[in-house]
A and B are shown apart, each in its own frame.
Chain A
Amino acid sequence: MTSGSAFLQQIVNGLTVGAVYALIALGYTMVYGIIELINFAHGEIYMLGAYFGTIAAGALLVAGVPAAAALPLALVAAAALTGLYGLSAERIAYRPLRKAGRLAPLITALGLSIFFQQLVLLTQGAKDKVFPFAITSAGIALGPVRVAYIQIVILAVAAALMVGLQTFIQRTSVGRAMRCTAQDPLMASLVGVPVNRIIALTFVLGSSLAAVAGVLVVVYYGKVNYLAGYTAGLKAFTAAVLGGIGNIPGAMLGGIFLGVVEGLAAGYIGGEYKDVVAFVILVLVLIVRPQGLLGVRVPDKV
């Protein structure tokens, strides 16, 4: 393989990973945009989505549903269930703390994240959960560069969801209410926006998107374990910050950028430094340009 085509292959690999980061990053960015909370538990929500997808697909296969139909059904089931988790987390853990300053919700988020991890560990075990049917590793060859079909599916689904989300937020009345709440919740409630419901909806949407990412990943790699949310969550958060937290196109850009840079770093520096590169990027962005690539600087509320 020539170095040029190896480089192209690294870009393709990175794009796939980046698309997944971007989908998870959307949840972070939406929640942060609307209530300024870093929802630490979001990575675990993604992990839960992957588990639900795997369990649902397994159950559907046992029930005799053909694999081609089981996959989209499992995706929808996982998105719905995980959305419920997001909704409950908001209603039970976060809503009572909305006026409690910054430290309490952050610690709650940390607690939730450990809770979800342990819940899965205790009920599903520590072993990796393997997706019930194998997806072909076949794909198309563009010269020496190989793109698996499943990679194309991941990229396509991610792109469609992001465009859909952006349209939803920019073009619909609910989307307008979300933007309105993000700008000023008090004013929004004064003009009749049901702020609590809008915030709950944000959590549901973000969680469902993470669940889709989770299912795509478990199909692509074939397995998931209860710790998968930690690293993925951190990376996705990095992506969100990179693009400008609270900014939806920024999250997409950040995810793709991080995926590609990480892939190149692992390929050319060494796999052991992959995570270091990601965290260094995070630290650098926060120090040099805390508003991210596409974000706008907002002064602290006094």
Chain B
Amino acid sequence: MPLRRLAGRFLALAVLGLLLMAGCSGNDGKVIRVACVGPMTGEQAKQGKDMIEGAQLAVEEWNAKGGVLGKKIELLIGDDAQDPKQANAVANKMFTQGVVVIDGHYNSSCTIPASEVYNLRKMVCLTPASTNPQVTDRKYPTIFRVCGRDDQQGRAAAQWIAKHLPEARVAVLDDKTTYGQGLAGEFSKSYTELTGKQPVFTGVIVKDDQDHTPVLTNMKGFAPDIVYFGGLYPQGGLIVKQMRQLGMKTSFMSGDGTYDPEFIRIAGPENAEGSYLTFIPDQEKLPTAREVVEAYKKRFGEVGPYSLYSYEALNIALQGMVKAGSTDGEKVAQAIHGMTFNTVFGPMQFDAKGDVLVSPYVMWQVQGGKLVQLPTDS
């Protein structure tokens, strides 16, 4: 029996065993651990970085004031790589490391499976960016959402049309993703509720596709005045461009997924002119956010769309912790439910499901090749 070879094989196994041991370290109780979890690598690394920066700012401010419950706060970073499997694993990792508050995740498809773990472990989780209704519709007591919901956003768009374009023939398109289908569905529901009319056309495009002319040609036959699109900016831009190419003058309306300067570049500025997008109010112009925006810019530079939500997610959790006088997840969650928070977005309260009470969405429009916020009362 070649013993030497056998020894080599056991060596390899020992290395594997060491790999298994890696990544296990508990919390010694001297600090309070919070975590920012999101897509830190991959396609959405930029959004992940925005989240980290917001969280870092909040933690630094709290630590400068002496921490929470007499202890310093330590911020851990978790990466879900926008993969539901990974989200689940990283949620367990955070539990192992004694984290009590989660600021995350970014994608609804990650927040949903991860919140199963947070619910099981009674960890407080506040998502700064997952807008899918299902995140909170399961009514888990420790799960909160700081940003808006897709149905609030779809409703905001429908209300705008009902008020300003009541006679318009409306078409609806979506990209067959959780986000796009959900948003378009909520829009159609609210639109029918508010006006008593059905959309004249509903269609589906494929997210990874470049050529949407077949569906648009079909849509053209129904002569819509405005099309509402649930989806992201690359497809939004292509839809606008290809509508014009087909000689259609139909207006375009969409949601936060299309809110990106690239939307105008892809569509072509003259094609995109007049398009409507629902989004949160311009943070840099919010009087309540001025100080934080300044501090953020000095520390990190450009403020990302969800940076301040990430910042406030931790602020809310830590304020809840102070009120509860404990790091116990259930107690903190209970405290958060009963409080009103002064945030950069104005006063914020949570309903029984863990959603914010006031819908944050306003209407923006492409004017002169730029995105401009429309006055809320017009």
Contact = CB atoms under 8 A, between A and B. Distances in A.
Touch between chains A and B, by CB atoms below 8 Å: yes
A271 B208 contact: no
B211 A137 contact: no
A121 B221 CA distance: 39
The 9 A-B pairs at the shortest CB distance, nearest first, are namely A266-B214, A126-B43, A267-B214, A13-B213, A137-B245, A272-B204, A134-B268, A271-B215, A263-B214
Contacts of A134: 268-269
Nearest to B202: A270
A148 B221 contact: no
Residue of B43, B218, B238, B244 with most partner-chain A CB within 10 A: B218
Contact of B208 (A9, A126, A137, A231): A231
Contacts of B262: 127-128, 130
A271 B220 contact: no
B13 interface: no
A6 B248 CA distance: 13
A221 B238 contact: yes
A222 B214 contact: no
Interface string A118-131: 00010000111010
A13 B214 contact: yes
A134 B262 CA distance: 13
Interface string A241-276: 000000000000000000000111111101110110
A262 B212 CA distance: 11
Given A126-B44, A127-B262, A272-B204, 20 more contacts: A1-B220, A6-B217, A9-B246, A10-B214, A130-B266, A137-B244, A137-B245, A222-B241, A222-B268, A223-B237, A228-B210, A230-B208, A263-B211, A263-B214, A267-B215, A270-B203, A270-B204, A271-B203, A271-B205, A274-B206
A13 B211 contact: yes
Contacts of B214: 10, 13-14, 262-267, 271, 274
A266 B215 contact: yes
Interface string A206-242: 0000000000010001110101101100000000000
B297 to A, nearest CB: 22
Contacts of A13: 211, 213-214, 217
A270 B337 CA distance: 44
A271 B212 contact: yes
A17 interface: yes
Size category of the binding interface on chain B: 35 or more
Nearest to B232: A128
B167 interface: no
Interface in B107-142: none
Contacts of B205: 271
A12 B282 CA distance: 42
Contacts of B271: 137
B247 interface: yes
A280 to B, nearest CB: 15
A60 to B, nearest CB: 18
Contact of B268 (A137, A225, A271): A137
B237 A227 contact: no
Given A146-B247, A221-B211, A223-B266, A137 B241 contact: yes
11 contacts: A13-B211, A13-B213, A126-B42, A130-B262, A137-B245, A217-B210, A222-B237, A231-B208, A231-B209, A266-B215, A272-B206
Nearest to B176: A272
Given A228-B210, A275-B206, A3 B245 contact: no
Interface residues of A, number: 41
Contacts of B218: 6, 267-268
Contacts of B213: 9, 13, 263
Nearest to A3: B221
Contacts of A270: 203-204, 215
Contacts of B44: 126
Nearest to B223: A1
A221 B268 contact: no
Contacts of A139: 245
Nearest to A146: B247
A275 to B, nearest CB: 6
Interface string B269-301: 101000000000000000000000000000000
Contacts of B212: 271
A141 interface: yes
Interface in B141-197: 176
A125 to B, nearest CB: 9
Contact of A9 (B203, B217, B265): B217
Contacts of A14: 214
B234 interface: yes
Contacts of B203: 270-271
A221 B208 CA distance: 13
Nearest to B45: A126
A291 to B, nearest CB: 29
A71 B246 CA distance: 24
A39 B292 CA distance: 54
Contacts of A221: 210-211, 238, 241
Contacts of B269: 134
Contacts of A121: 43
Given A266-B215, A267-B217, A274 B209 contact: yes
B129 to A, nearest CB: 17
